[in-house]
Amino acid sequence: MASYSTSEFRAGLKIIMDGDPYNIVENEFVKPGKGQAFNRVKIRNLRTGKVLDRNFKSGDAVEAADVSDMEFQYLYNDGEMWHFMNPENYEQLAADKTAMGDAGKWLKGEEVCIITLWNGRPLSVQAPVFATLKITHCEPGVRGDTVSGATKPATVETGATVQVPLFVNEGEIIKVDTRTGKYSARVKE
């Protein structure tokens, strides 16, 4: 198995520690006036999402995680699991609620998602950056209540709630930024 030296540490690098895959979030090289140099590293557990701070002596080696990011097409949700298909070989896999995170509330069917796999198991799912969704319920905007930046809650077809401007009405299609969960634009049909 491959390994990384502390001199190769950078944000985004995937390593194995204590049998779990981790992603390096931040790396800072520290050379104190007295003593050995070390790397102060902030790492995120890819299975649990927990963030830890660790120090590694300069020159230490850490095992590389066999983690891959692949594109999968979303098929359906059976209540517990979200099912995806690899468009190249038609293999299917299922992701649970922890792997899905917030991505599940933006998927309606056939979107292409990036899934991080470790030992063939999905660790995390990234929804497409923008989702085009139909508004199923929202209160009508009150005429005259148009103070700059005023918003109202709207429920979209996946069940998620998004804050939209007052001029957006029920039945319209909107574009939502899935990274922030915020309204981006109205879509013309």
> What is the pTM (predicted TM-score) of this model?
0.74
Q: How large a percentage of the chain has pLDDT more than 90? A: 53
154 confidence band (pLDDT: 50, 70, 90): very high
For residue 22, what is the DSSP state?
Answer: E
Question: pLDDT tens-digit profile of 87-132?
Answer: 999 999 999 888 888 888 999 888 999 999 988 889 889 999 999 9
Q: Is CATH 2.30.30.30 the right assignment for the domain spanning 3-63?
A: yes
pLDDT recorded at residue 16:
92
pLDDT recorded at residue 120:
85
In this predicted structure, the answer to whether residue 41 has a pLDDT above a threshold of 90 is: yes
Sort residue 89 into left (φ over 0), alpha (ψ -120 to 50) or beta: alpha
Matching CATH topology for 3-63 and 67-126?
no
- Domain 67-126 adopts which CATH fold? OB fold (Dihydrolipoamide Acetyltransferase, E2P) (2.40.50)
pLDDT recorded at residue 146:
61
pLDDT recorded at residue 49:
80
Q: Is CATH 3.40.50.720 the right assignment for the domain spanning 131-187?
A: no
- CA-CA distances (angstroms) from residue 145 to 13, 94, 154, 174? 49, 46, 17, 21
Q: How far apart are CA 115 and CA 121, in angstroms?
A: 10
pLDDT recorded at residue 147:
62
pLDDT recorded at residue 110:
87
SS3 41: strand
SS3 40: strand
Q: How far apart are CA 24 and CA 165, in angstroms?
A: 38
How many alpha carbons fall within 13 Å on the CB side of residue 163?
6
Q: How far apart are CA 44 and CA 56, in angstroms?
A: 15
DSSP E strand boundaries for the chain:
3-5, 14-17, 20-30, 38-45, 51-57, 61-63, 67-77, 82-85, 92-95, 112-118, 121-126, 130-138, 151-156, 161-165, 173-177, 182-187
Locate the domains of the chain by residue range: 3-63, 67-126, 131-187
Q: In terms of Cα–Cα distance, which of 165, 169, 137, 162 is closest to 151?
A: 165
Give me the mean pLDDT over the 29-45 stretch: 92
Give me the mean pLDDT over the 15-41 stretch: 91
Residues contacting residue 18 through CB under 8 Å, at least 6 positions apart: none
Question: pLDDT tens-digit profile of 167-185?
Answer: 888 999 999 999 898 999 9
Question: What is the average pLDDT value for the chain, to the nearest integer?
Answer: 89
